[in-house]
Structure formats: structure tokens, C-alpha cells
Chains A and B, each alone.
Chain A
Amino acid sequence: MQQKVEGYPLKEYTTKICQIAKEALENREVTAIIGWRKKDFWWQSPVVFLEDPADVQQLVWDPFTIYSPVKFLLDWQESCAAKVGIFVKGCDSRGINRLLQDKRLERERVAVYGVPCGGKADAEKIRASFPSKEIKSVTLIGEELVLAVGEREERVKAEAYLLDKCLSCRHPNPVVYDKLVWEEVSPRQYADESRFARVQAVESLVTEERFAYWQRQFDRCIRCFACRNTCPACNCRVCIFDQAEPRWLGKANDPADTLNYHIIRAFHVAGRCFECGECERICPAGVPLQELNRKLIKGINDAYGDYEAGLDPTDVPPLGTYRGEDPAGFDES
């Protein structure tokens, strides 16, 4: 099936976003807008906070508007009483539901502008094919990635250059919004198969191989906590790992303690992780955290019924409920 994707040049999308932001600020529907802007390099589209309608021209929509703006709402809400407008992709919108379900966000204080998303680009994949220093811009048009490299224009099939997490995305369209910025796109066909592929690959190893595999991954962990800090499901005011009394996690970067951190982090998002994959993407050390999160999702789905977090903020996550006839992963005799 030919999938429906973003059809016209990104400039028009950006224009649309600017227009919505401008109207919302001018009409005083919101006092601030959280979106994305362009920075120094072609691969940088960080989150930006705007309050002045004159600044909305900074906003962009391009293949690198990846970082979720959602978690910033926590700080925003604490420091400011007014309503804020936020642009969210499909994955980001599930973050909104995550915060709502966790009672960490007041829905009426946010105007959610849903942005259907055809997938974001992986700078590493692009760098492997094109000299990074010479790239001027990268644009997604239809199913094609258009690169300005030096003086020439290169057109390549986008799919090969998208982030892995986008290739296995099940909800490219926002699941909660006040306004949909443009028409919905259809999810990728092969998203379901690719969802647990890596988990199954690791599962198929024997115990000692699995341990060696994960040990190699966690060995690189520098304990920067970027995975936690970026995760909208990790929204505790004071994280258990930051507490000194009792100290749940030692500050020394010891292998066992690193394992402790990753086990408990994954446990805390079990049944709550909505698979945005940001933990893995932003991990400076390339630890495949999504594999761990998805293992838990798979386990919960198999044992307690399919559940997808971040779709319905009113339900109870699987670990907050039970059924008498639940199966167990251990000897119940």
C-alpha cells in the first residue's frame, strides 16, 4: 500500500505552523508557544519557546524536529499560570496523555496542536552517505529526502534515512489535540512486525549471551541520566535515583549499580512507556534502551493483554490493576 505522507514542500508546513502559532498568540488564546526552530547545523532543530507573535517566524517543521516538547510543560506549568500552546507529533501527543494520566498536567492549560508526522530523519544515516560539512539543508518531500549538498541537489528515497524508531511507529498521528495542523498520514505497514524484532533477536540468545550482550551495552553507560530526563514517563518531582536517604542508587559508576539503574528505570516505566524511543535516540553512549522497554511491553501484552500506553489518559496502567486469573511468570504451584 502506498502510504499517505507529507505531500508538499516543508516550507508550506512551516508556514502553516507559524500561522497557527501567530494567530494563537495574537488572539491571546495562549501566552506562549512551544515548537521547534532551526539552529547552527542542518541536523539541529531544537525546541523553542516563543511569547512574541513577531518571533513565530523562527518556528520550523523539518526532518529534525524530533525532540519532544512535551516534558517542558511540567516546568512551564509550575512557573506560569497562563495557557501555553504546544505542537506535538504522534509520539509527542502520547506524552501529553502520559502526563495527563499521571495527573502531572492540567489539560485546560495547554492548547495542543497536533502535527501528523511522516517520520524524522536520522542524521547518522545521512552522514554515512553525504559529507556532513557540505550539507546545507535537508527537506522531506513526499517519500523523498531532498538534500542541498555543496552546490548540488540530491534526491534519495526517504525511508532509508529515517530514524529506526519512526520506521516502527504505530501512531504517527496525534492521539490528542485541540487542533490538527494538517490532514492525517497513514501509519507504516510494517510497523507492527518491526516493533519487537530486536527484542526477539535478543530473546533468542542463551542466558550467558544475553548477559554478555547487555553487559557490553551498559558498560558504555556514563550515568548521565539523559534517558530518564528526556522521558515523559519519568516525571517524578524527585526521582528515586536522586535521593540520598535512603540512597537507592550509588553514585559510583559500578557495573552492578548501572544494571540496578537500568532495571529499575525500565520497571518504573513498565506499562507506562509509550514507545517514543527518545531514551535510546538521545543516549550519548548508544545504549539500546528501547529494546529493554519493548521487552517489558511485549511481556505485559503477552501475559495481561495488549495494552498501549499514552492512548487513553483515563485508564489504569497494567501494573496498577490486576485480574484474579492473571498468569504468572513464575511457579505458582
Chain B
Amino acid sequence: MKRIAKANLAELLSAMAAEAKLYVPAESDGIVNFVSWQEGLAVELAALNVLVPPKKFFYPQTETVLKYEMGEDLQIEDFACKAGEKAILFAVRPCDVSSFAMMDKVYLEEPPDEAYRRRRENTTVIALGCTEPDEACFCQSFDIDAAKAPGADVLAVDTGEELALVAQTEKGEELISALNGLLSEATSGDENKVKDEQEKIADRYVTSVSLRGIKERLAGMFAADYWERLYKRCIGCGTCTFLCPTCHCFDLQEYAAGNCGERIRCWDACMFADFTQMAGGHNPRPSQKERVRQRFMHKLNYFPQQHGDYACVGCGRCVRKCPVNLDILEVIREAGGGTDGL
């Protein structure tokens, strides 16, 4: 374990930026997002979750897949093999770190998504352990220890005046050793302090849900009246899906002009009316009811069936940001374990 005074953070960031493209959480107009770090930028360490989840670094909202030109012969330029600039993500919260594992199940399963794989491989993730969840945080219910982030390359823990840094992977070791000049070795006192901080958090949650039996309950609920009641206040925006660290559905679009064209991949949201719109006009999910059902079924039933895990990390973004307060907490409580409100 290494440590550095928070007062010297800028130096550390500067050194990291020399290693790779560095992204840090920063505030602008009241909104915290991951942005590219540059000298003088104030890093926001107090905020829990940034607005747009860091999945965007592996799976950008918009990316070019290929470009082509039609002439005598067709020329195609592939962009996937160019993806993956060396990068460091600093201060990713443990729930978001957990989401990477979920995304990996989608994009790294055979055949892997080349662009995603390259970005994932070339990015070093530094997690920032949480000490104080807010009322919308419920990662604990998904067995995520918010103080720790086993999936991260490096774990940072805020001990007040200092940050403690623990390398957890080979990539992490490399980074730490590269930064060694700026770091000092942690004492056993520091280690105890970190341990203390990490232990406190378990009791600081005010919100939890029981997932017991939810997958099974939902399996039988496809035709339930419940959805009829639930969907009514959904306005079909993409807030929940775009802000969800585990939502991963995309659309492919063609931007053609004359004899040239570009194919792009961009985030899409199952909440949108045109998500399942087919060329002939038919839409297998004709109303918001089917769309809302799809989202929660996917998160709590289909995804666990396919991949063994729920597609939710309890980050609470949807709880905080849904304009109509229609969130996964409500669905788990009403449809899931322990609650008989159906």
C-alpha cells in the first residue's frame, strides 16, 4: 500500500497524465462528469457518482465502426483496430467498477468486440472507495462492497488528508511503480486507518432491497397486470438507460454522402419508441408497457439467466435522475423478494 497527501494530488495526476490519457471527475455548472484532465483542473472527489457512467470509455456513446468509399472498387477503413488509446480512469466508484465486469460479459464473450477489448486492455482503472453512501445508493444489496473494488487495477481510499493506493492487478502494479517517486510507503497505522474506513461503510446505508427470488418471480410475470400499472407514468426518455452503467444496447447508423459513407455505433435506449421499430413499420414493442417491462426483465431476469448476474450495480443514478421516479428499486420491491405487493 502506498500513500500520498491529497495536497499533492495535482502532481500525481500530472505524472499519470504523462503516462496515458487521464480522465478524472470534475464539476461544471453543478454537474460532475469524467473529463480529460489538464493542468489546473479541480478534481471532484467528494461527489459519489458522476453523471455519465464511465462505461463510455470502453463503449462510447458514439463511435465510428468503419468508413467506406465506393468507386471502381469498394474501399473500407476499419476503425475497431484503431481503438484503445492508453488511458487512466481516476476515481471510479466501486459500483461503476463492478459494472465493467458486467459489460465484459457482453462484449468480451466470444467473439469479443474488438474496439471494446482494446479499450479495456489499454485502460487502467483507479477506483475510489466510498465511505458515505447516500440514500439512493444500494450497491450493498448487490453484494458490492463500496469500500473496495476488486475489479479495479488500483484502489484508492480517502483517509481524510491522504489517499491510500493499493495496486490490485499487474496493470495497477505497473502504474504504481511508474508513479513511485511521488508516493510514500504506507505504514501499518495507515493500513489500519484504511481498514477502519472500509468497515464503517456497511452500516451507513439507509436503502436496501432484497433480491431473493426476484429472477424466478419475474420469470412468471411476463403477462402480469403489474406492468400495466407500472408503465403508465414512464415518459419514455433515455435517462435511465443512458445513465445506467450496465445498459449496453446500441444502434448502428449509416451516414452516407455521395459515394462515401461512415458507419457508426451509438447508444440506444429500449425506452425509445423507435428502438424496436422495424423497416416495414411493425413494432414488436408497440407501447411503453412492453418497453418498461423489457428493461426490468432484462436487468433482473434475462441477463441473470444468460450471464449469471443481475444487470444492476445499485449505483442509484436512475433513482436520483428519473423524472417520474420510476426506478429499479420500486420494481425489485414490488415484484421481488419479500414484498407481496402484487
- Enumerate chain A interface residues (CB-CB to B < 8 A): 39-41, 44, 46-49, 67, 71-72, 75-76, 124, 132-133, 216-217, 220, 222-226, 228-230, 238, 242, 244, 250-254, 278, 282, 284-286
Number of A-B contacts (CB under 8 A): 107
Interchain CB contact under 8 A, A44 and B233: no
Interchain CB contact under 8 A, A133 and B233: no
Interchain CB contact under 8 A, A67 and B323: yes
User: Which of B94-102, B161-169, B181-189, B261-269 lies at the binding interface?
Assistant: B261-269
User: Which of B14-22, B28-36, B117-125 lies at the binding interface?
Assistant: B28-36
Q: How far is the CA of A251 from the CA of B235 in the complex (A)?
A: 19
Interchain CB contact under 8 A, B238 and A225: yes
Interchain CB contact under 8 A, B61 and A133: no
Known contacts A133-B134, A222-B238, A285-B31; decide if A39 and B251 are in contact (CB<8 Å): no
Known contacts A220-B33, A222-B242, A223-B238; decide if A46 and B233 are in contact (CB<8 Å): yes
| Distance to closest chain A CB from B46 (angstroms) | 13
B contact residues around A75 at 8 Å (CB): 232, 288
Q: How far is the CA of A39 from the CA of B233 in the complex (A)?
A: 14
B contact residues around A47 at 8 Å (CB): 233, 324
Q: How far is the CA of A72 from the CA of B326 in the complex (A)?
A: 14
Minimal Cβ-Cβ distance residue in A for B133: A133
B contact residues around A76 at 8 Å (CB): 232
Interchain CB contact under 8 A, B324 and A46: yes
| Distance to closest chain A CB from B341 (angstroms) | 13
New contact pairs (14) apart from A220-B29, A224-B239, A284-B243, CB-CB < 8 Å: A40-B330, A41-B136, A49-B232, A133-B134, A216-B29, A220-B33, A225-B236, A228-B237, A242-B272, A251-B266, A253-B61, A253-B62, A254-B62, A286-B29
Chain A: interface secondary structure? loop
A contact residues around B33 at 8 Å (CB): 220
| Distance to closest chain B CB from A245 (angstroms) | 9
A contact residues around B272 at 8 Å (CB): 225, 242
Known contacts A224-B269, A244-B277, A251-B253; decide if A230 and B237 are in contact (CB<8 Å): yes
The list of the 5 closest CB pairs from A to B, nearest first, reads: A226-B237, A224-B238, A282-B323, A46-B325, A252-B62
Interchain CB contact under 8 A, A225 and B325: no
Whether a CB of chain A sits under 8 angstroms from the CB of B311 is: no
Minimal Cβ-Cβ distance residue in B for A66: B323
